[in-house]
């Protein structure tokens, strides 16, 4: 089963790191990515640029025109910083990987990816197969 691990942290602290601290942090991330890849669980993952680079599209619930704004929609201290998409046997395995993420003071949200076949979607299933 696929699980998405979304990574949230206080991005105001990211800019305060020295180049040495940044390199040490990236080494920890590289080691984690190598471990999850060697285990055969890694399907994808990326870090994201700071939330100030985001553009948000708010979809009107009443069918009106979408509203586009700069920056993140949520006013929160923790921001989405990246993600890992993993193939795991079950939630316990996904949680074990989440606990190893080198994100001191951060939060990792673990969610199963929707099973489009079980939901009855032919389009998503076919699109996923065609992309492989």
Global pTM reads: 0.82
Interval 26-37: pLDDT, tens = 999 999 999 999
**Residues whose CB falls within 8 Å of the CB of residue 81, separated by 6 or more in sequence, listed in order:** 7, 8, 9, 11, 14, 47, 48, 103, 106
Is the pLDDT at 88 greater than 80? The verdict is: yes
76 pLDDT above the threshold of 80: no
In the Cβ-directed half-sphere of 26, how many Cα atoms lie within 13 Å?
9
Whole-number percent of the chain with pLDDT over 70: 90
pLDDT at position 50 over 90:
no
Return the bridge partners of 7, or none: 82, 108
CATH number for the domain that contains residue 73: 3.30.70.1060
- Please, are residues 3 and 111 in contact by the beta-carbon 8 Å criterion? yes
The domain tally of the chain equals 1
Q: What pLDDT score does 129 carry?
A: 47
In this structure, what are the phi and psi dihedrals at residue 16, rounded to the nearest 5 degrees?
-85, -5
Domain that holds residue 21: 2-131
Residue 52 confidence class, pLDDT cut points 50, 70, 90: confident
pLDDT band at residue 74 under the 50/70/90 scheme: low
Confidence at 43, pLDDT banded by 50, 70, 90: very high
């Amino acid at each position: 089963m696929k699980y998405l691990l979304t990574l949230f942290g206080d991005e105001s602290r990211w800019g305060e790191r020295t180049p040495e601290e940044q390199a040490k942090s990236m080494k920890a991330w590289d080691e984690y990515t190598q471990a999850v890849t060697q285990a055969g669980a890694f399907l994808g993952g990326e870090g994201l640029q700071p939330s100030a680079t985001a553009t948000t599209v708010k979809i009107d619930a009443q069918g009106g025109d979408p509203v586009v704004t700069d920056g993140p929609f949520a006013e929160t201290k923790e921001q989405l910083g990246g993600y890992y998409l993993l193939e795991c046997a079950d939630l316990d395995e996904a949680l074990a990987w989440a606990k190893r993420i080198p994100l001191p003071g951060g939060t990792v949200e673990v969610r199963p990816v929707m099973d489009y076949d079980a939901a009855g979607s032919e389009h998503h299933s076919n699109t996923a197969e065609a992309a492989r």
